[in-house]
Chain A
Amino acid sequence: MQNYSRRRFLFVSAAASGALLVGWRGARAQALPYLGAREEAQALGAFVRIEKNGDVIIGARATEIGQGVKTSLPMLIAEELDVDWNRVRVEQLPYGYIDTDKGPSNKYGDQGAGGSDNIPSAWKELREAGATARALLVQAAANKWDLPKENLRTSSGQVIAPDGRTLGYGDLVEAAAALDPPKEPPPLKSPEQFTIIGKPTKTVDAADIVTGRAQFGIDAYLADALIAVILRCPQLDGTVDKLDDAEARKVPGVKDVFMIAGPKPDEPIDGALANGVVVLAENTWAALKGREKLKVEWKAGPWAAESNSALAAKANELLDKDADAVPVRKDGDFAKAYKSASSKHEARYEMPFLAHATMETPGALVQVQKDKALLIASLQTPSRASQTISNLTGIARKDIEIRLTRAGGGFGRRLKNDFVAEAVQVAAKTNGRPVKLIWTREDDLRHDFYRPFGVHAMRAGLDKKKKVIAWSHRCAATPRNYRDSGMKSAPLYIGCIEPQDFPAGLVANLDKTFFPIASGMPRGWWRGPIHTFHAFAVQSFIDELAIASKQDAVQLRLDMLGPARKLQFGAPDDSGYDTGRLAGVLQLAADKIGWKEKRSDGHGIGIACHFTFGGYCAHAFEVSVQGKDLVFHRAVCAVDVGRPVNPLGLEAQMIGGTIDGISTALNLAITVKDGQVQQHNFPDYPLLRMAQAPKNVEVHIVESTEDPSGAGEIGIPSVAPALANAIYAASTVRIRKLPMMPELLRLL
């Protein structure tokens, strides 16, 4: 065993400000359980470990929810480290909390998954981490050979001298680990030198996934762990009135039954989501059987009268009366321009609540001891999970160990840690014994943070030359900003209507207004949140405008986008959105679907485009309506996310986003009646099956040298409007309410 106490580890990480922090810190072996603990290997920084035989282990920092970052982020490091990707083994890093004199930080940088920001935030940072490790190896070789390091080059895990001598990284790593790191991050490769970035690269966990070895949160067990299931109050903010647990306790294997508290109706939902009854048992089956035997009388909460029909009526009433308005954005004078317009158009579009329905239901394995805690779970925000545990237990965050696993889907569900809070509340009663909390699908669909419900009221005025001169987008919705202590300073409209989104800045007279509707349904972020929520209205309405004014629907969009230029999106110093790139994907999708070619035999084509989290996407579909069936003939997706890091992964995200978008648009809705969610399981929340999905999604990736943006969410927003526009072209049925299939059958 080597003496680790003298070893110093290069510490490469992101400071909270986003600046790269390169420095030295003492590290004991156990502080780096994944990357430093093997005696035959040497750690070079927080992310890189090299075995004596030259094998390279790269730590994956972000939570993998299916968006591919466990593959793509290590690619960034490997590129600059200059190693052979086939000799790289990727290991998931645990949550890297550290206390600093400036407060809580993370030795690995950002580990969460949200806002498609993993790639953009890692693009410079992780390449610099790789380059720093390479610089140390080069310096070690320079010392060994007594040559200037400038004369040395690297290739495929070797340092090469001008005379052709080589030293493998494995031979150098011990000397490299003893060196002082460069003061400045070393220069990065120019893109022409890339050997890994931009190459189609398969999922690093593929072999583990197909053999059943891959570990998801639900697959974690600890010896001696008790299984917990919870019967949650089905009434929004309802409570337990009477509990009879006598029969449940008789089920062999059931250990305990007790109540668990949810938030009070006016409190933020920072912990558990609902009041309920916990059944603790030796195994899942006993817990589920015990739960079935519970006799509970519930007491309705303040939302007992809530229903979808009442919410829709309220939304339309607010829009009709223009009441309780929250201003969002005003450019020019909409009212005046609309009045003077030579043609006027209006339409309303209704959006349902949506559940996340991750294939792996929420859940958590926790062990809470006197002064330390352990969490193993599928997460999207390990930092908030750590905060939640610390808040509930008083245990210092540095003493909370969080092991990350693959997550069976995220889609925004795991941005919340209510399931972690529940497991911790249960563990408070087990005296240090680990607790594994299981959610059934019924639990999942009935207790989610749903995408908001709302109605978009669109109006537009065109002048004599058919130019859009006035645009009004009023949205009445259950605000996303609801009982969320992290959003206190955020505007009420956030997540429902976006002030800077298309066509803001492109129409002289523009009005965007929000109308909040009270609701007891918990709300959260749902993949491409605001974008999926209003792209359907905006991009359907444009299509309606084009048809009503006898204009080409692609050309109208291109005319509105105008010459290529950057418009502000987000903060003034954010990179903004480029009208030329949005026009580019629109044109590409149009070309690929054959937009100008006439269709016959009842086929129709529809198109839509949208800007999401730094990337640009357009969809075009060719469909026909045959009897009561919608038939897909072609599905085209054009995408521009800048320079693709992993084109194979990008294509997967676009195929998946397209199919998720179709699945959601056609059939999915959560409805509420009498203050209760009505859906129970997949039969009434029917995700698309293979037979109903397009056999192929044709993905076209724009070649670009721009810095990359994320791709996890951009594949969805333009799907629903492109599909509605295609259905109109095929059938002249205009769908203005989601989900589409019930509407289509009603209107046919």
Chain B
Amino acid sequence: MPEKPVRHAKPIAVPPVAQSAKEPVLPLRINGKAFFHNGDPDMPLLWYLRDVLRLTGTKYGCGIGYCGACTVLVDGKAQRACLTPARAVSGHEVTTIEGLAGNSELHPLQQAWIDEDVAQCGYCQAGQIMAAADLLRTTPHPSDDDISKITNLCRCGTYPRIRKAILRAADAMKK
């Protein structure tokens, strides 16, 4: 029988011991946990998250930082993971969609996305939510024009419900 696909490999919670000097490792913090990357430090964060950690919620869309499907938070700020070399986030806190809710079950944005039934194919939505999280961090009461600053692409055309979901989450977070 073929092997089952690997889902969500368990992150390494403690630093591995006794790394040899010949194998430089890059310390990373992702969703509050420590990881050590011993591959190419130029590997984009997107492929490190996906290929190495199997955190597949962060999506590939264009590879040139245009579409936003790979949006993650670096120290709370939205950033395109496809253009971010792993070494650039060493010493910074990376949050992916899998870690957005922290210790809660769902972040208010995730709940709002469900309540407004935003997703169609769903592929871009993790990136949309991460972009919205950054927006609400800097602009807790966003106007329509503020929301328009999100440049993430959606091929299914879910933008009107994304707008509603962001406003709903902003309301929920105010309370």
Contact = CB atoms under 8 A, between A and B. Distances in A.
Interface of A: 64-68, 202-203, 205-207, 209-216, 218-224, 227, 252-253, 283-286, 357-361, 365, 367, 374, 376, 401, 406-411, 434, 438, 440-442, 648-649, 652-653, 655-660, 663, 681-683, 687-691, 693-697
A251 B144 CA distance: 47
A203 B119 contact: yes
Contacts of A681: 62-64, 66
Nearest to A372: B2
B117 A66 contact: no
Nearest to A649: B117
14 contacts: A206-B119, A212-B96, A212-B126, A219-B50, A284-B47, A286-B40, A358-B121, A359-B121, A359-B156, A406-B122, A408-B121, A659-B159, A660-B156, A682-B153
Contacts of A691: 148-149, 151
Interface string B137-175: 000000010011111111111111111000000000000
Interface of B: 2-3, 5-8, 39-40, 42-44, 47, 50-52, 54-64, 66-67, 69, 96-98, 100-101, 106, 109-110, 113-114, 117, 119-126, 129, 144, 147-163
Nearest to A220: B5
Contacts of B7: 215
Nearest to B48: A285
A252 B155 contact: no
Nearest to A663: B157
Contact of B62 (A286, A434, A441, A688): A441
A211 B98 CA distance: 6
B63 to A, nearest CB: 6
A407 B121 contact: yes
A656 B157 contact: yes
A683 B61 CA distance: 13
A227 B52 CA distance: 12
B69 A222 contact: no
Nearest to B69: A359
A359 B123 contact: yes
Nearest to A224: B3
B155 A283 contact: no
A491 B8 CA distance: 49
Contacts of B154: 359, 687, 690
Given A203-B117, A361-B60, 10 more contacts: A67-B120, A203-B120, A211-B97, A212-B97, A218-B56, A283-B47, A285-B39, A407-B121, A690-B159, A691-B148
B157 A223 contact: no
A651 to B, nearest CB: 9
A401 to B, nearest CB: 7
Contacts of A690: 147-148, 150-152, 154, 159, 162-163
Contacts of B43: 283, 285
Contacts of A683: 64, 66
A66 to B, nearest CB: 3
A359 B159 contact: no
A360 B58 CA distance: 12
Given A211-B98, A221-B5, A682 B62 contact: yes
A408 B98 CA distance: 18
A359 to B, nearest CB: 4
B60 A218 contact: yes
Contacts of B58: 212
A568 B154 CA distance: 37
B152 to A, nearest CB: 8
B51 A209 contact: no
A196 B160 CA distance: 26
A693 B159 CA distance: 8
B44 to A, nearest CB: 7
Most chain A CB within a 10 A radius of its CB, from B60, B101, B125, B129 = B60
B5 A285 contact: no
Contacts of A221: 5-6, 51, 54, 56
Contacts of A205: 119, 122
A694 B56 CA distance: 31
Nearest to B85: A285
A203 B8 CA distance: 23
Contacts of B59: 216, 218, 359-360, 408
B110 A211 contact: yes
Contacts of A214: 122
A283 B2 contact: no
B81 to A, nearest CB: 12
Ranked 9 nearest A-B pairs via Cβ: A212-B57, A659-B157, A66-B121, A408-B123, A212-B97, A656-B157, A691-B148, A209-B122, A219-B56
Given A66-B120, A210-B125, A222-B2, A695 B160 contact: yes
B119 A694 contact: no
Nearest to B120: A66
B122 A441 contact: no
B122 A408 contact: yes
A67 B157 CA distance: 12
Contacts of B149: 691
B118 to A, nearest CB: 8
Contact of B114 (A210, A215, A218, A649): A210
Contacts of B61: 359-361, 441
Contacts of B123: 66, 216, 358-360, 406, 408-409
Given A211-B98, A221-B6, A655-B157, A441 B56 contact: no
B57 to A, nearest CB: 2
B44 A409 contact: no
B163 A695 contact: yes
A66 B158 CA distance: 11
Contacts of B2: 222, 367, 374, 401, 434
Nearest to A715: B157
Contacts of A656: 120, 156-158
B150 to A, nearest CB: 6
A64 B8 CA distance: 22
Nearest to B62: A441
Given A206-B117, A683-B66, A223 B6 contact: yes
B39 A648 contact: no
A502 to B, nearest CB: 25
A362 to B, nearest CB: 12
B155 A358 contact: yes
A365 B50 CA distance: 15
A440 B159 CA distance: 24
Contacts of A206: 113-114, 117, 119
A202 B116 CA distance: 8
B67 A212 contact: no
Contacts of A694: 160
Contacts of A68: 120
Contact of B117 (A218, A252, A411, A652): A652
Contacts of B47: 283-285
Contacts of B129: 210
Contacts of B42: 285
B100 to A, nearest CB: 8
A198 to B, nearest CB: 16
A443 to B, nearest CB: 10
B55 to A, nearest CB: 7
Given A283-B43, A690-B150, A690-B163, A213 B157 contact: no
A252 B156 contact: no
Nearest to A374: B2
Nearest to B128: A690
Nearest to A441: B62
Given A211-B101, A652-B120, A681-B66, A660 B161 contact: no
A428 to B, nearest CB: 17
Contacts of A360: 59, 61, 121, 123
